Structure 1
């Protein structure tokens, strides 16, 4: 359950030093739905949590969230109705119920089932012992009991205790125990006792003594459930019960439920139907339902670590805390609803002016001079105390001096009224300067109680406020938002760029001069200032919470206090000096906001003053507000910080030391708190998730941290907090948790991925190396193949032709005497040399294109036959099948094989006939056969040394995937046959396969059916 503390009312009192103080009061009532039953007890454990016991449950409160406490699994309280709570010094919580006692020592709950009856009260003695009182139901073991470890020892009549039951229980400063029942009160030191039996209790059937409190001065106060002489509230003095009687209170008239001494030694009295009384010395304050208290039936008090006072009533829980700014309004005796000016005189009297009233305040005493009852008019305007202690008062359109209870009017030289006074000041020459607004604006100088000079507008610029500097110069706060100085009858105007056309919005609302001669003006656009010729404007850029300033005053420490639209702001003198040297600097300011009691508003005349005790007073139309900066008690206690809950993917986890979250945890919420109750709204947080956040994350007042992108791993969450005065708990709280990885997020899987990635990189590298090596080898092979091809071409063409030419030449040289034969030989030699040239050029051209032309293979073979000698062999050439387009490389290689075979037959066969057959079937085949008589298989097994014809034929056949066979038998000739598969040889082989596939799939049948 979430709460937002709201201050429903304020309660005025005198503090122990007789200073006016005021409590902010917040209440949580039964009808708010926060409690299922009336609260009976309240306490605060060492960890900072506030605990509330009600009729039906035990609640825990952190200042913002109120939650029901649940016992640990397998344990339970003796009874759900809680009557009393005790937070012991060891940090544990003692719980007194309607049917027994329990001890919560986190994380263990210990119950004492043998303790029968209603536990009324519990104390922790100075020696650390835990004692409690009870009302028995079944056993008669005694009404006063002590805790001994995990057992209980009770005391009764055989032990010298004259009581079977006991209501209240307390210890005085001497270590004596005090307790009582319906008829007597006992003081016991463990061995002897003293009994007090007020006569009025004889025959009493009620609770009798209901509350006992030991005072710091050693005295003891007793509260009774019955009012009357000797009862109500009594103080034990010299073993005699005496009432407390003042003009405000006769304690015998009270019906007391509870008593409590706070840290200021004030006694708080909770009554049955009269609310709360507070006693300090002889001063008595009262708070009741009319002041905002949730009920006049008060059950319990508790003062927390920061000094806030908690009250349990039948209607709810109330909390009082001392406000830094106290308000003085009609509730405190101010007789008017509007305050327009305020002035503190040297004798400590605070004067307040407004409609039909001039009010004087001294402490709690308020007196008023009302219109037509001594006040010479209706509206009180400006106020001034002069050097002689006389009070100058502007009333309506006149100016009066109030002295010895009488008003004396001050008029102009012609006897007319001075006018409507809006500003007034006195210089060191005892001249009183007055700024009036009508019938026309005018600055008036008064000396010896008479008007001496007038400076009307426009001779003098229209002003609203006046102030006198130590050098005697008069400063004016102008309607235009500027400052003006009148010195030795010379006027200087200092204009500020943010000022505008004269109006109520732009005017200087207040002017103040500090001891070092700095002049400050309150405006709606910031704080304007002049010092030694330097002008400055202080705004939100320099750290102000807002620019609109209503009034200002300096305290005894030199701090300048601004009454602004958004609160009271203090500027220390050191920060002011820093601002004068560096106009753009950001200042460290002291802020007092609405939660501290500040309720600023603009007033038309004197809005601020300082009383002799150092208190600052501010008028805010509806009343007065006061603060004494010297007495501001800062909150030095850093708030305890706790991590309360962890929610991961909508599942709650207890905030233990270490939390193991499952894999794939996405949404993570961490709830934390800081236990400062002085002003929970001003508690600020910072947190950091180590392993995720590099710096501290400012969370403001937010009490949750959210993460939705955390990878698996171990984390430490740290949170720190500051209280309402900016005091940080740097230690804070820490929570360690881990998020488990999924199988693919484990280190083993990640290591395997790394190894696999390295292996893939290595394989890619190896494949790349192999590819590069193969590419280099391919280039080498290509170069070698090209060289081999050129060698084959040279052997099959040029060298063969040259060899044939040599044979012709040799034949001619054998018969030099036959000219005709010589001529034929030379002609043949010429043709062959011509052919050798052509073949050489063809070899060169083959490096750039096909060896043969684009003509058919059959034509090329015919030319090869025609180029051979015709006198040795008779040749026949035949082509079988339809001529088809051949692949150029296949055509070239088959041609070279055939050319080599033809030349070999002419050169080596020794036969008479050569047959060449070219077949275009499914495959391409070429057959060359002769009828030479001397051929044997061994002649074709390998080339002779220096001859590469057969090797070249095999290499060419292998290059195009052909099958080459060379067969020869003695007497039968030699046959060379090369067969090239059709898929390799023919360029239209792919189309043929597609046609065959279509036929196989039925496409051809469809066509035939269509035809």
Structure 2
């Protein structure tokens, strides 16, 4: 219990004794206090009038309960909205809200804590010192003593690189000197005289024999051994500047270069690795060796050395880029300092990725965790170091941040989820009951979660039960959208996780009912079903009517054929047979007259040959093309039949490509054509017959001869007792075509039949032809 009083020096604040007595005399805290809060971790927050906020990190467990340790003050200069604090409140997640005269401030624990470096510090390299503490090189050399950074005497000018060898010695590289710092003192090494004016040290590493490999900016790599400097290896090895160097457990020295190049020296020979050996990180800006692991990092990610090759480590989500520091801790975790922040990867995930190549799960730390800024890309290096007490340190351009992996703030509180609003159109609906919406409504559901520690990392997922089964991963979005939902009752369910990935799967729900429109009701569907049945019944009746009509037409066609056969037989074959019978009777009566008998037999032979031709002609006109024949083949066959033993000239031409036609229409056209050809052969006395068949938008059949033609009355009514012309006109009318017969005496006859394409051609070909014509019209 804390009490306040007006004392001799103004307002006083103190803790009561466990017995309930007033605070001891020396435990009072003096100040103009406006509010006080003791947080659950034992810290004390004091609000003042015009003097800002006082945070006492914890109370020491002594008899003087009022004695405070590690006091921090926040004022307007530190970012507080006002120096006058009115109220202090701690939420369920441990965050502290401060209400001031000018606004609301929020305080929370962060994973990264910046070290108190001197103002203006830049170009920072960090390394572990020989005693296990932290060394900071930023032009000058500094040492971390507890929570205080103390400057040290500089053995070199303007430190550019720090390296701790396996024996515990620390090597420092500057602009003109290389120094080795050991427990017994500092050993300085002069740089080679052959160096050009630019001889800043970029990277340092030691070999298994104690030799020192140094990469000079603009002067390549050289080795210091037995008090002298020498260049080692081929030109492509020692001439370029190595960005980073390290030594593995076997004593081999590894070098990282620009443009996907890595080199290694095992004490006897050099080996180089490029894209052919799997190096695909771009510029190699980080290299680290731990036990049997070798890691390289660069512009394009992280790779591991496995089986003599480098293999890319693939990450789930965003892959790290511009890696400038790699550190593997004793528990197998890998820490990366990147341009986007610090990345932590579990060792088991890394081993699994090496074998199966699947994406590695990782945790990212950025400005939301207190890590502000980005590290240097090229120099100075390294940018990450660990001390013997387990703490990790990461450098950026101007700061060094401390991280204790064992004390990373955790948020165990399951966030509460709230559905704030349901919006349909421009109407906001209350969510305290079932939300009833009209049909075909556009739906927007707004929701949130009560988690203030890092609200930017609160994630949501939702689904509309009764409409979908899969969850939608909404990320940080706090709205869900649906449109044109079918009528019914649904349950909108949303779940959320806090910044540490702890989910509230129960979340929040709201019932939503979508009313049915008149066209979505059961009675409307029943009416539609009845209407569909009526349409189907009508279609069935029309189909039956159509089938009956087709059957009737076929019957009438067969009857016409029989009538024609009867006419043709009567006009030709029967009359010839009747005449032949009379000839035979005459020959029998005059059988004794051999000359008369011979004359009758010759005449009988002529009449029988004529009967054969007339019978064949009748059969040809009756034959229609079957499904496998075309109109062209049918007309050619008719010509072959009619022109047997004939010497007349015949011209037959086809224009356009033959197209698929309706069988019944084709049959009628064939009959008309064959009849026209038959009349030209047997009745025109022509010496040349011309037949043309044109497949165009319409079908055109033309049969012409140069015979004696027909008289006007014959053209209109036909020959007495013959019905060929009448049958042609009847067939033409039945199929909706146009038949023109033009005949001039002594100049021949022309028969032209024009059948519309919509009638004769099958529909899909008509549609295709129209579409093709429409496309070609654009080209023209």
Residue 317 of structure 1 and its aligned partner are, at CA, apart by 0.8
Structure 1 residues 733, 714: closer, same or farther in 2, change over 3 A? same
1:128 corresponds in structure 2 to: none
Equivalent position to 2:136, from 352, 363, 366: 352
1:454 corresponds in structure 2 to: 230
Structure 1 residues 412, 418: closer, same or farther in 2, change over 3 A? farther
Residue 772 of structure 1 and its aligned partner are, at CA, apart by 4.6
Structure 1 residues 309, 765: closer, same or farther in 2, change over 3 A? same
**Is the counterpart of residue 283 in structure 1 residue 79 in structure 2?**
no
Structure 2 distance, partners of 1:785, 1:528, is: 92
Contact 1:339 1:624 in 2 (8 A): no
Structure 1 distance, partners of 2:389, 2:149, is: 18
Residue 387 of structure 1 and its aligned partner are, at CA, apart by 6.6
2:532 corresponds in structure 1 to: 757
Equivalent position to 1:721, from 492, 496, 500: 496
Deviations 1:822-879 (A, max 9, x none): xxxxxxxxxxxxxxxxxxxxxx9xx999xxxxxxxxxxxxxxxxxxxxxxxxxxxxxx
Contact 1:659 1:738 in 2 (8 A): yes
Specify every segment of 5 or more residues in structure 1 that has no aligned partner in the other structure, as ranges. 1-219, 792-843, 850-883, 893-1011
Structure 1 residues 341, 227: closer, same or farther in 2, change over 3 A? farther
Residue 385 of structure 1 and its aligned partner are, at CA, apart by 4.5
1:508 corresponds in structure 2 to: 284
Residue 784 of structure 1 and its aligned partner are, at CA, apart by 10
Structure with bigger gyration radius: 1
Contact 2:201 2:215 in 1 (8 A): yes
**Is the counterpart of residue 616 in structure 1 residue 392 in structure 2?**
yes
Deviations 1:110-162 (A, max 9, x none): xxxxxxxxxxxxxxxxxxxxxxxxxxxxxxxxxxxxxxxxxxxxxxxxxxxxx
Deviations 1:389-433 (A, max 9, x none): 55443343112344679755234799999964332334566x262
**Is the counterpart of residue 235 in structure 1 residue 10 in structure 2?**
no
**Is the counterpart of residue 739 in structure 1 residue 514 in structure 2?**
yes
Contact 1:662 1:740 in 2 (8 A): yes
Deviations 1:314-344 (A, max 9, x none): 221111122222222xxx3435421421123
2:244 corresponds in structure 1 to: 465
Equivalent position to 1:571, from 320, 325, 345: 345
Structure 1 residues 780, 762: closer, same or farther in 2, change over 3 A? same
Specify every segment of 5 or more residues in structure 2 that has no aligned partner in the other structure, as ranges. 60-68, 567-617, 623-670, 673-712, 722-780
Deviations 1:865-903 (A, max 9, x none): xxxxxxxxxxxxxxxxxxx99x999x99xxxxxxxxxxx
Residue 253 of structure 1 and its aligned partner are, at CA, apart by 2.4
* Aligned residue pairs, count: 571
Residue 773 of structure 1 and its aligned partner are, at CA, apart by 5.6
2:126 corresponds in structure 1 to: 342
Pick which of 597-606 and 767-776 moved more: 767-776
1:580 corresponds in structure 2 to: 354
* SS of equivalent to 1:711: coil
Structure 1 residues 757, 531: closer, same or farther in 2, change over 3 A? closer
Equivalent position to 1:301, from 88, 108, 119: 88
Residue 276 of structure 1 and its aligned partner are, at CA, apart by 2.1
Contact 2:130 2:169 in 1 (8 A): no
Structure 2 distance, partners of 1:760, 1:577, is: 69
Contact 2:162 2:172 in 1 (8 A): yes
Deviations 1:335-372 (A, max 9, x none): 542142112335453221112x2111223222113xxx
Equivalent position to 1:484, from 235, 238, 263: 263
Structure 1 residues 774, 351: closer, same or farther in 2, change over 3 A? closer
Superposition TM-score, scaled by structure 2 size: 0.64
**Is the counterpart of residue 675 in structure 1 residue 458 in structure 2?**
no
Contact 2:143 2:150 in 1 (8 A): yes
Deviations 1:87-131 (A, max 9, x none): xxxxxxxxxxxxxxxxxxxxxxxxxxxxxxxxxxxxxxxxxxxxx
2:189 corresponds in structure 1 to: 410
Contact 2:33 2:48 in 1 (8 A): yes
Structure 2 distance, partners of 1:227, 1:390, is: 59
Structure 1 distance, partners of 2:438, 2:193, is: 95
Residue 650 of structure 1 and its aligned partner are, at CA, apart by 0.8
1:114 corresponds in structure 2 to: none
Residue 305 of structure 1 and its aligned partner are, at CA, apart by 2.6
Contact 1:639 1:723 in 2 (8 A): yes
Residue 272 of structure 1 and its aligned partner are, at CA, apart by 2.0
Structure 1 residues 359, 763: closer, same or farther in 2, change over 3 A? same
Residue 739 of structure 1 and its aligned partner are, at CA, apart by 2.1
2:301 corresponds in structure 1 to: 526
Contact 2:438 2:514 in 1 (8 A): yes
Structure 1 residues 227, 354: closer, same or farther in 2, change over 3 A? farther
Structure 1 residues 767, 514: closer, same or farther in 2, change over 3 A? same
Equivalent position to 2:145, from 354, 357, 362: 362
1:268 corresponds in structure 2 to: 45
2:601 corresponds in structure 1 to: none
**Is the counterpart of residue 423 in structure 1 residue 203 in structure 2?**
yes
1:320 corresponds in structure 2 to: 107
* SS of equivalent to 2:284: coil
Structure 1 residues 432, 594: closer, same or farther in 2, change over 3 A? farther
Contact 1:435 1:465 in 2 (8 A): no
Residue 743 of structure 1 and its aligned partner are, at CA, apart by 2.0
1:103 corresponds in structure 2 to: none
Structure 2 distance, partners of 1:739, 1:341, is: 64
Deviations 1:473-524 (A, max 9, x none): 22222345422222223222222359999xxx954322200222x2212222
Structure 1 residues 228, 342: closer, same or farther in 2, change over 3 A? farther
Structure 1 residues 230, 498: closer, same or farther in 2, change over 3 A? farther
Contact 2:273 2:279 in 1 (8 A): no
* SS of equivalent to 1:671: strand
* SS of equivalent to 2:523: helix
Structure 2 distance, partners of 1:628, 1:707, is: 46
Residue 441 of structure 1 and its aligned partner are, at CA, apart by 3.4
Structure 2 distance, partners of 1:787, 1:481, is: 95
Superposition TM-score, scaled by structure 1 size: 0.50
Residue 292 of structure 1 and its aligned partner are, at CA, apart by 0.8
* 1:936-951 to 2 correspondences below 5 Å: none
Structure 2 distance, partners of 1:335, 1:743, is: 75
Structure 1 residues 779, 554: closer, same or farther in 2, change over 3 A? closer
Structure 1 residues 466, 692: closer, same or farther in 2, change over 3 A? same
Structure 1 residues 519, 544: closer, same or farther in 2, change over 3 A? farther
Structure 1 residues 413, 289: closer, same or farther in 2, change over 3 A? closer
Residue 452 of structure 1 and its aligned partner are, at CA, apart by 5.3
Contact 1:419 1:436 in 2 (8 A): no
Deviations 1:429-455 (A, max 9, x none): 6x2624141784343345xxx635533
Structure 1 distance, partners of 2:176, 2:282, is: 24
Structure 2 distance, partners of 1:360, 1:244, is: 41
1:156 corresponds in structure 2 to: none
Contact 1:350 1:361 in 2 (8 A): yes
Equivalent position to 1:687, from 452, 462, 468: 462
Structure 1 distance, partners of 2:45, 2:413, is: 24
Contact 1:639 1:675 in 2 (8 A): yes
* SS of equivalent to 1:475: strand
* SS of equivalent to 2:243: strand
Residue 652 of structure 1 and its aligned partner are, at CA, apart by 1.0
* SS of equivalent to 1:519: strand
2:421 corresponds in structure 1 to: 645
Greater helix share, structure number: 2
Structure 2 distance, partners of 1:761, 1:477, is: 80
* SS of equivalent to 1:232: strand
Structure 1 distance, partners of 2:555, 2:310, is: 91
Deviations 1:974-995 (A, max 9, x none): xxxxxxxxxxxxxxxxxxxxxx
2:367 corresponds in structure 1 to: 594
Structure 1 distance, partners of 2:546, 2:199, is: 110
1:606 corresponds in structure 2 to: 382
